[in-house]
Structure 1
Amino acid sequence: MKEFIQQQIDAFKENNKNKGRLLISCPDQPGIVSTVSEFLFKHGANIMESNQYSTNPESGMFFIRIEFSCPNMRSIEPSLKSHFHTIAEEFSMDFRFAFGYEVKKTAIFVSKELYCLRELLWEWQNGDLMTNIALVVSNHEDARDLVESLGIPFYFIPASKENRADVEEKQLKLLKEYEIDVIVLARYMQILTPTFVEAHPFKIINIHHSFLPAFVGARPYERAYARGVKLIGATSHYVTNDLDEGPIIEQDIMRVDHRDHVLALKKIGRLVERSVLARSVKWHLEDRIIVHENKTIVF
């Protein structure tokens, strides 16, 4: 299986070796699109897709995501990055290039409930989640057989409030060793410390089993049942130091009624959680998300 997945990754990199993405956020003003388009044209690039959004054309922020192709992309990458700084300074831009021959490395953190992990692995095996799942970290042994059967390294690191500092030191060391680009909390039932979060800003994706901002924190299904909700939801968001209050990437809901007890709510909610998390991870891997303040723009 590992060899098959690697073949998929190699084929993706070959098919996309001359493709790139450019994400920009800056104060809105005239001339941004034409200047960027001209820059890409002068470098021999052809724009394949362009999506933009302005919060307020008069005094707001401007966001754009451009997919482009260019012969011999790898050889012109240094020139693209270095020469674009002049434009970025002129328009006060935050920008980021990504290239098709770069496949992000992912680490998945999980506890005892494995349904979100299974969904991610299924999407990954199908080639619909184009990433290198470099390792899975867990504070329980439950996922070991599943993970190792796919040739993915599994690390069992028991975690609690008492040993959190030592645990995160080990985890951060592993993430550095594997050169991880994105961390997915697939029902990892531990609160991360500010030190851990600050080491990977807007690169940690969490799934919360509630339609935030309702029912923040633990036991949301029990509280939702007590409140008599008619909709069950799930929210995927970037992790910040404010519990369950990071920038929201994706949400979805399913309808329930008074006949659904807590266990039924959980069963229904798991279906939503799985799909919401998978979509969020996919969008992150495809560089479709720009974070602005505590919101996301998803193209």
Structure 2
Amino acid sequence: MQDTYILTLSCPDRPGIVHAVSGFLLEHGGNIEEAAQFNDAGNGLFFMRVQFSCAPGSPDALREGLGGLAERFGMRWQLHPASQPMRTVIFVSREGHCLNDLLFRWKSGLLPLDIRAIVSNHRDFYQLAAGYNVPFHHIAVGKANKAQAEARQMEIIESEGAELVVLARYMQILSDELCQRLAGRAINIHHSFLPSFKGAKPYYQAHARGVKLIGATAHYVTADLDEGPIIEQDVARVDHSKNVEDLTAIGRDTESQVLARAVKWHSEHRVLLSGQRTVVFR
């Protein structure tokens, strides 16, 4: 029997980092199963993801040793058991295609998630949640109760120990405070190919401009609306004959696929933040 871990790290680029990491793992009986690295010449940073196996035991010794290595190279690092699914809470409003797709992929064993709860400002999908045996929380959100609603949402996130929050077409703007508390662990799907057509009704904006490609963008949530670091994007080709309803219908498939890929990569610890950009080890 072997324990498998995923190590992710970033640090200022310099010679010897790969040698030091691989040597450290060898000293601790680790066998590298998958490794990827990236040198960002633009900011002088080095990024790495390593999946490795080793004899069963406490990860504390690994973490202690990694602390010393990190101090030597100025690393930011995380160590994750590969077998541990990511505890997740999904937010949704009245468009359920992304939610339905994520739930199906999860139950089919295609996403390494532990979906702990579904939160919605409408009641539309409580039966869908019940069908997957996932707790459903209806929290109405309006101008008068936004602070109280977000406080309740955060209670659920914390009580479930959620490491990831997915906004699966959750059509509410989160407050700056909530965005900051969820920094780096909240993914939104926007139904356009950002940076084009930000904000509300992007398919209407796209139709008005007569675009020939419509897209979807999965990105991390920040206080700046639709400005967060982009994880994944895709497009579908359209033409002048398509009306807004056609664009919306075509776009739903793209949205679901883009969000599923972003969630999968994040839950497999393949996405590293680099300022306003991401490094994605697919």
Aligned AA (2:4): K
Tell me which residue corresponds to 1:3. none
Trace 1:80-95 onto structure 2 (pairs within 5 A): 80-95=62-77
Query: Aligned with 1:19: secondary structure?
Result: strand
Tell me which residue corresponds to 1:212. 194
From 208, 211, 219, the equivalent of 1:237 is 219
Equivalents in 1 of 2:158, 2:86: separation in Å? 14
Equivalents in 2 of 1:125, 1:103: separation in Å? 12
Gaps of 5+ in 1: 1-14
List per-residue Cα deviations over 1:50-97 (Å, max 9, x = no partner).
10110129x71111110100110xx23001111111111111111111
Question: Do residues 108 (structure 1) and 90 (structure 2) align?
Answer: yes
Tell me which residue corresponds to 2:238. 256
Tell me which residue corresponds to 2:30. 45
Tell me which residue corresponds to 1:275. 257
Coordinate RMSD, CA, aligned: 1.2
Equivalents in 1 of 2:86, 2:41: separation in Å? 33
Equivalents in 2 of 1:249, 1:160: separation in Å? 30
Gaps of 5+ in 2: none
Query: Aligned with 1:76: secondary structure?
Result: coil
Matched-pair identity in % = 47
List per-residue Cα deviations over 1:186-223 (Å, max 9, x = no partner).
00000011111111211000000000000010010001
Tell me which residue corresponds to 2:153. 171
Equivalents in 2 of 1:102, 1:124: separation in Å? 14
Greater helix proportion: 1
Query: Aligned with 1:112: secondary structure?
Result: coil
List per-residue Cα deviations over 1:239-297 (Å, max 9, x = no partner).
00110000000000010000001000001111100000000000011000000100000
Equivalents in 2 of 1:108, 1:246: separation in Å? 18
The runs of at least 4 aligned residues of structure 1 exceeding 3 Å deviation read none
Compute the displacement of 1:161 (Å).
2.2
Query: Aligned with 1:195: secondary structure?
Result: helix
Aligned AA (2:52): F
Query: Aligned with 1:141: secondary structure?
Result: coil
Question: Do residues 291 (structure 1) and 276 (structure 2) align?
Answer: no
Compute the displacement of 1:37 (Å).
0.5
Equivalents in 1 of 2:52, 2:82: separation in Å? 10
Query: Aligned with 1:274: secondary structure?
Result: helix
From 100, 111, 127, the equivalent of 1:118 is 100
How many equivalent pairs are there? 281
Equivalents in 2 of 1:199, 1:262: separation in Å? 36
Equivalents in 1 of 2:104, 2:62: separation in Å? 36
Equivalents in 1 of 2:92, 2:52: separation in Å? 36
Question: Do residues 31 (structure 1) and 16 (structure 2) align?
Answer: yes
Equivalents in 1 of 2:107, 2:155: separation in Å? 27
Equivalents in 2 of 1:210, 1:265: separation in Å? 11
Question: Do residues 197 (structure 1) and 179 (structure 2) align?
Answer: yes
Aligned AA (1:77): P
From 36, 47, 50, the equivalent of 1:66 is 50
